[in-house]
Amino acid sequence: MKIGIVGGTGGMGKGFTLRWCINHDILIGSRDASRATSAAEEYAKLANEIYGKVNGTIKGNDNLSIAKEVDVLILSIPYENIDSTCSQILSQIKDSCVVVSPIVPMVKTELGFEFIPLKENKPFSYQLVSKYMKNKTKLVSAFHVISEKKLVDPNLSLDYDIFVCGDDTNSVKIVNELINEIKGLRPIYLGPGSLSYFAEMATPLLLNAMIKNKLKNPGIKIV
């Protein structure tokens, strides 16, 4: 499978790449093609050091170019940039492409971490991205509560749940499989995309719990 990562030069993009390059071809996207190429080279070198040999390739290009050719597209960009980025690329993806939003609408204030849609009466990420989708059922929300620090180190032992929301059974299945490929992660389906705010809200909840209680590396696990 070809997996594209818009904003793949960031921490999450690096983590996704190092996890999924074992079995898939990864295309790193950036606003700047040369930045994407440099990141891809760096990740390929790291993957080689970690695993020796992987089945997938890691390449980089501008966000639009990679978005046009992939089977799964991860939107690894800040909430504030959804409009400017998605309006350019989502009309150009393949009809079969599954789009994944890990985007957390969160801001740090004097109280702690707060959820922007509640604080500022704005749409949650899934709502905002879905405005730009030709086929809205291909959008799946996932990966909000796993930190980049845990993804980038394949030697860390993980035991966490990942909330998943989406409307199309097959698209959700594809994302569930990608979650299952990361050892120690379990997909937990929460419901349709319109309930994605529950998953998005879990991140500020987790970060506040971590900071106020001095917890180290917390994650979410339903028992």
Ligand X SMILES: NC(=O)c1ccc[n+]([C@@H]2O[C@H](COP(=O)([O-])OP(=O)(O)OC[C@H]3O[C@@H](n4cnc5c(N)ncnc54)[C@H](OP(=O)(O)O)[C@@H]3O)[C@@H](O)[C@H]2O)c1
CB 166 within 8 A of CB 159: no
Residue number with CB closer to ligand X (103 or 172): 103
The answer to the question of residue 204 lying near ligand X (CB under 6 A) is: no
Write down the least CB distance from residue 48 to ligand X, Å: 22
Contact residue for ligand X among 148, 192, 205, 218 (CB under 6 A): 148
Q: Closest Cα partner for 165 from 136, 195, 143?
A: 195
How far is residue 182 from each of residues 68, 99, 148, 197, measured CA to CA in Å? 25, 18, 13, 24
Residue number with CB closer to ligand X (53 or 89): 89
The answer to the question of residue 77 lying near ligand X (CB under 6 A) is: yes
Tokens of 56: 């997938």
> Interface with ligand X by CB under 6 A: which range of 78-86, 89-97, 130-138, 214-222?
78-86
Tokens of 27: 């295309």
Helix (H, G, I), strand (E, B) or coil at 179: helix
Contact residue for ligand X among 11, 120, 183, 194 (CB under 6 A): 11
Write down the least CB distance from residue 52 to ligand X, Å: 26
User: Cα dihedral angle (133, 29, 17, 44), rounded to 10 degrees?
Assistant: 160
The answer to the question of residue 61 lying near ligand X (CB under 6 A) is: no
Q: Which helix (H) or strand (E) holds 85?
A: helix 82-89
Binding site for ligand X (CB under 6 A): 7, 9-13, 30-32, 35, 76-79, 81, 84-85, 102-104, 143-144, 147-148
